[in-house]
Amino acid sequence: PGPQLPFDESKKTLVILGSGWGATSLLKAIDTTDYNVLVISPKNYFLFTPLLPSVAAGTLNSRSIIQSTRYITRHKPRSVTVIEAEAKEVDPFNKTVTFEDTSPIKGSIASTTIPYDYLVMAVGAEVQTFGIPGVQEHSCFMKELADAERMQKQFLDCLESAAFPGQSPEEVERLLHMVVVGGGPTGVELSGEIHDFLEDDLKSWYPELANKIKITLVEALPSVLPTFSEQLIDYTESTFKESKIEILTKTMVKEVKEKSVVVQMPDKSIAELPCGMVVWAGGNKLRKVTHDLMLKLPEYQNDRRGIVVDDYLRMKGADGIYAIGDCSATSYAPTAQVASQEGAYLARMLVQMAKKENLETRATELAAELANATTEEERKRLSEQLDIAQKQMAKVKLRPFHYSHQGSLAYIGSEKAVADLPFMNGNIASGGVATYLFWRSAYLSTLFSLRNRTLVATDWLKVKIFGRDVARE
């Protein structure tokens, strides 16, 4: 029973868990000739996370920023098996992975275990709530496509409820207060996008309410965008001030209630902020499957940030497991940029490894044939071939992973973006049409397919002409 795999016993089985940045970049770059490749992910698509806040604000259609995983795998030299399922358990000793169909419709088999030779952990991370009461129940996240869609609906619901006749001024004020928790790039970009929605469209669609909409960004640390340079932080904070986005720094959310957020202010006093909607962008935490796997190798896996890997992205203490992206603990930030470079690196590594193994097999066969050779001519021919194979083997070098930082870019609304760039010694903080176009072209060029680029560009054009859609589905 189980899925029909493109199984060839002479080839090693490579199982990739996930279909996000790391996994997709690996899949795009890998030559599948030498492997039985399986991809297992509960989402059968790749999600372009940088544009998720744009979906939440209704600038982009949700389908424009996803790409079916089969779209990427279908042109591979050997077919790749794509399985929509969630990995539940990895057994690093018996080298097996157990996965389950967790979608609403299931066949008679919904869970199975398969062996692997190589396993790539690319399952990303989930949202960190720190166990703060009410976060899970009363806030929207900004991690998955469904989160962005939910936020958009809830935002419009708040507006419609505020427009309901007879609402008291306090209730209108509460319903129109949007609180974003987390001043990292996700929280900042989202606040900027909501502000654009307000300025560009809501002022004309809801003229009586628009000037009462309030956005508050709450951050526990002394500043927003803590990983950006000071100049860019100042620029972001002053832009937000002009945009009337209130920033509360050194302020820690202690509880999220149905209609308010409880915060600890910088002076340690407790305040309750009435609000219509809370968006939680409090950072990452490990997924259960990652955590459980690490617990099986406690001697080597003791970093709370994720799977500890060596310079070749091999999971320490395990045989044949690699970890890339947000589920791994490296010296790099958990970003798409890092995950995609790691995926592409691993694709090259796996090809090199297969090449080396094929040459080793060939050399062993030649050595055996040489030992049994009966004529001088045969011995000469075989030893020449063995020599070539050994020389080729020596040329196959497995080099450690090297990350090349291309810079960090964040859109902060009002056609402004901030960029920390490693070249030109540059921090660029600028606004206006040029920045806006730069931001947009940077994202367009990183989108994986022509299909996505076309859809995103068309959405931008549609919004420019007709504005964002305020019809609530």
Q: Which residue is nearest to ligand FAD (CB)?
A: 20
Contacts of 99 (CB under 8 A, 6+ apart): 40, 83, 85, 86, 87, 88, 111, 112, 113, 114
Nearer to ligand NAD, 277 or 297 (CB): 277
Asked if 325 and 342 count as a contact pair (C-beta separation under 8 A), the reply is yes
DSSP character for 229? Answer: -
Minimum Å distance from CB 408 to ligand NAD?
5
Supply the minimum distance, in Å, between the C-beta of residue 91 and ligand NAD.
30
What interhelical angle do 433-446 and 450-466 show, nearest 10? 150
From the list ligand FAD, ligand NAD, none, pick the one residue 58 interacts with, judged by a Cβ distance below 5 to 8 Å according to partner type. Answer: none
Query: Hey, which residues between 270 and 289 contact ligand NAD (CB under 6 A)?
Result: 281-284
Q: Judged by CB, which is closer to ligand NAD: 36, or 290?
A: 290
Cα angle 315-318-323, degrees, rounded to a multiple of 5: 25
Which of ligand FAD, ligand NAD, none has residue 184 at its interface (CB below 5 to 8 Å by kind)? ligand NAD
Q: Tell me phi and psi for residue 67, to 5 degrees.
A: -145, 125
Query: Cα dist. 465→70, 127, 404, 455, 462 in Å?
Result: 33, 35, 39, 15, 5
Residue 169: both structure tokens together: 């001024």
139 vs 260 by CB, closer to ligand FAD: 139
Rounded to a whole number of angstroms, the minimum distance from the CB of residue 326 to ligand NAD is 8
Nearer to ligand FAD, 123 or 178 (CB): 123
Interface with ligand NAD, residue 191, by CB under 6 A: no
Instruction: Give residues in contact with ligand FAD (CB under 6 A).
Output: 17-23, 40-43, 49-50, 52-53, 86-87, 122-124, 142-143, 186, 287, 289, 325-327, 334-337, 339
Site for ligand NAD in 220-259 (CB under 6 A): 220-221, 226, 252-253
Q: Per residue, what are the HEC states of 396-455?
A: CCCCCCCCCCCCEEEEEECCEEEEECCHHHCEEEEECHHHHHHHHHHHHHHCCCHHHHHH
**Which residues does residue 99 pair with via DSSP β-bridges, in sequence order?**
87, 112
Instruction: Using alpha carbons, select from 287, 313, 316 the residue that is nearest to residue 299.
Output: 316
Residue closer to ligand NAD (CB basis): 284 or 435: 284
Nearer to ligand NAD, 308 or 419 (CB): 419
Min dist. Cβ of residue 312 to ligand NAD (A): 23
Q: Which does 41 bind (CB under 5 to 8 A by kind): ligand FAD, ligand NAD, none?
A: ligand FAD
Q: Please report, as a single letter, which amino acid is at residue 257.
A: K
Contact footprint for ligand NAD (CB under 6 A): 50, 130, 132, 181-187, 189, 218-221, 226, 252-253, 281-284, 333-335, 408-410
